[in-house]
Structure 1
Amino acid sequence: MVLFGIGGSTAVSDAAHTLRQAVAADRGGLDLFSVSDHPYYADRLDAYAEIGVVLGRTERISGLVSVTNLPTRPAPMLARTVTSLSSLSGGRIVLGMGVGGLWDDIARLGFTQLTPGAAVRAFEEGIRLVKRLGGGGEPVTFDGEFYQVTALHPAEEPIPPVWTGSVGPKSLAVTGRIADGWMPGRAADWLSERYRTSRPVIDEAAAEAGRDPRDVVDVYNFPGRITAEPLPRTRDDDGRWIGGSPEQWIEELTGAVLDHDAHGFVLFGPGGRPPADGEVARWAEEIAPAVREAVAK
């Protein structure tokens, strides 16, 4: 099934409106409500606190932190957080994972700043440990470079799908080895140079690990305008999607699924802002159902 979601605001000042928008997205039949994770900014909501409240006010939609700032959320506690949210919500959670990028800000929170190579090793180790801490089974002892746990009982709740926001070749290879999905960085889409050069790295790493590369799905953060009338062009001179009428969106996204194996799309407004209420309504009521119907045919 093709997934459709929206990117929500994390601004403290927008909290009431963001919750109303999440409820509207849920009632409109959307699949994902996504927020970013920047805990070092006081004017932003904590991502997992926000997702927890969203899940408590909705019935169908899944929560996604895109992507979890792993250096600030140690893997064993992150595993407890996501399995708890999964238990409380009936499995409506996806685990987005990131290496961590704004290291000066992360260090201000009191966490050790890692070199790029160490950050990727911690990323892979963290995902591997999280995946062992759900689904029941025997106690886990893990003696890694960055994480050590002793006789820790896994939660009975399974670990949700793990999607990454990998950008560099080493973290892309981690995605291929152990992740379940990939959200290309910097809002890159299936026609971008970033995608064309990055996806083969994932596929090669997956194959080397004995996995089917198709098991790592592509989900896109996709900003753009939804207009009443068709636009004369839907992409700019650099090939980046601008937007267009619902019909133009439907044609573009249907092609992405059928021709490029896209698995899902998270709508943002131009410039990566949260979409306006009217855009969310058209996304849920017009675009998503039409793409699903076209793909089903």
Structure 2
Amino acid sequence: MTQHQPPVFGVGVSSAIRDTQGTLKLVAQADQQGLDHFSVSDHPYVGRWLDAYATIGFALGRTERISGLVNVTNLPNRPAPMLSRTVTSLSELSGGRIVLGMGVGGSWDDIVKLGPERLSPGQAVRAFEEAIALVRLLSGGGAPVTFEGEFYRVTGLQPAPAAAPPVWTGSVGPKSLAATGRLADGWIPGHAADWRSDRYLTSRPLIDEAAAAAGRDPRDIATVFNFTGAITDTPTAAPRDAAGRWIGGSVAQWVDELTGAVLEHGAAGFTLFAPGGGVPDEIALGRWAEEIAPAVREAAANR
């Protein structure tokens, strides 16, 4: 995504098995109301949650326009060669409606329950870089691939004819942020940090520096924010709390805030979550999709 493309708007939905029907209903609503993507989390070691890629595939099969995003893929539990087969298949089946969210892996006490060996932070970042490279090598057709990496090895493997989807990362640490700058198409700041946060202000320069050193235009690496807050009927006196974190406001206040994020801070998109990181209800989703997103898109187009 370059700085000339319109901002994208998405919504985070529940992965809980008990919420299955509500999740599918919200995705259908988001599709009908013109959102760009829906997002599910990936914690395959939690038995009461749906598998992220099964959810994405099922939901994409019931929709027409919206893209699916695993926010973000738990890479240690989804080895890169098979992950490539999964996302290229979903891309082909859905007409390209998928974004590949990628993460280094964080909850190692849980991750190892599924069998992979525990990696050090440095090893996890190197595996992350190899995985991005390998997913792309195994996409787009061409000659059989042999890859001899530190963590991944394939021999004479035929690439899928489908193109690799865009890669957005959930990088947090300096090394993984640098890897994002060298390799990724987008970045989702961790902990729902926004453009005014210290986390964003100290992290984004590391991405930009690594991108420039690799001969890339840093502006081609989109920042897509997980953004939480309430959409209220009337304006609030203070849409940000004492710590400066956005807590919400009226549609007009949201439009002003997000338009400023796009025009002044280079935001490339937003994924809506309810306060506290929960799932928006149907009313909030409708305001987000039919009132806030179109107004911000229009303002961005007229800049």
TM-score (normalised: structure 2)? 0.97
Secondary structure, counterpart of 2:268 in structure 1: strand
Aligned 1:108-147 pairs, distance under 5 A: 108-147=113-152
**Displacement, 1:46?**
0.2
The alignment status of 1:208 with 2:213, answered yes or no, reads: yes
Amino acid at match of 2:109: D
Give distance in 2, aligned partners of 1:217 and 1:118. 26
CA RMSD of aligned residues (A): 0.6
1:255 to 253, 260, 276: 260
Deviates more, 1:7-16 or 1:209-218: 209-218
In structure 1, which of residues 188, 194, 197 is the aligned counterpart of residue 193 of structure 2?
188
Q: Which residue of 1 aligns with 2:234?
A: 229
Partner of 1:273: 278
The code of the aligned residue for 1:137 comes to G
Deviation at 1:293, TM superposition (A): 1.2
- Specify the SS of the correspondent of 1:88: helix
Identity across matched positions, percent: 68
Q: Report the CA distance between 1:283 and its aligned residue.
A: 0.4
Separation (CA, whole Å) in 2 of partners of 1:260 and 1:268: 21
Segments of 5+ residues of structure 2 without an aligned counterpart are 1-5
User: What secondary structure is seen at the aligned counterpart in 1 of 2:212?
Assistant: helix
- The Cα of 1:296 is off from its aligned counterpart by 1.4
Q: SS of the residue aligned with 1:262?
A: coil
The reply on whether 1:154 has 2:159 as its aligned counterpart is yes
> 2-side partners of 1:37 and 1:104: how far apart?
15
Q: Distance in 2 between matches of 1:296 and 1:210?
A: 28
Separation in 2, partners of 1:199, 1:138:
36
Map Cα deviations across residues 102-156 of structure 1 (whole Å, 9 max, x no partner): 0000111111111111111111111111111101111111000000001111111
CA displacement, residues 7-30 of structure 1 (integer Å, 9 cap, x when unaligned): 010000000110011000000000
SS at match of 1:63: strand
Q: Distance in 1 between matches of 2:61 and 2:13?
A: 16
Aligned amino acid, residue 17 of structure 1: G
State the 4+ residue runs in structure 1 displaced beyond 6 angstroms. Answer: none
Opposite residue 175 of structure 1, the aligned amino acid is T
Where structure 1 has 5 or more consecutive residues not aligned to the other structure, the ranges are none
Per-residue deviation, residues 61-112 of structure 1 (Å, max 9, x unmatched): 0000010000000000000000000000000000000000000001111111
Which residue, 55, 75, 78 being the options, matches 2:80? 75
How many residues align? The count is 297
Give, as a single letter, the amino acid of the residue that structure 2 aligns with 1:20: K
CA deviation string 1:26-78 (max 9, x = no partner): 00000010000000000000000000011001000000001000000000000
1:8 partner amino acid: V
Counterpart residue identity of residue 161, structure 2: E
Structure 1 distance, partners of 2:127, 2:257, is 37
AA partner of residue 12 (structure 2): G
Counterpart residue identity of residue 11, structure 1: A
- 1:230 partner letter: P
What is residue 39 of structure 2 aligned with on the other side? 34
Q: Secondary structure at the match of 2:100?
A: strand
SS where residue 50 of structure 2 aligns?
coil
* Of 54, 58, 62, the match for 2:59: 54
| Cα deviation digits, residues 172-228 of structure 1 (max 9, x gap) | 000000000000000001111001100010001001111111111100000000000
Q: Structure 2: how far apart are the matches of 1:5 and 1:78?
A: 23
1:97 aligns with 2:91: no
CA distance in 1, matches of 2:128, 2:89: 21
Q: Distance in 2 between matches of 1:295 and 1:64?
A: 23
In the alignment, structure 1 residue 243 sits paired with structure 2 residue 265: no
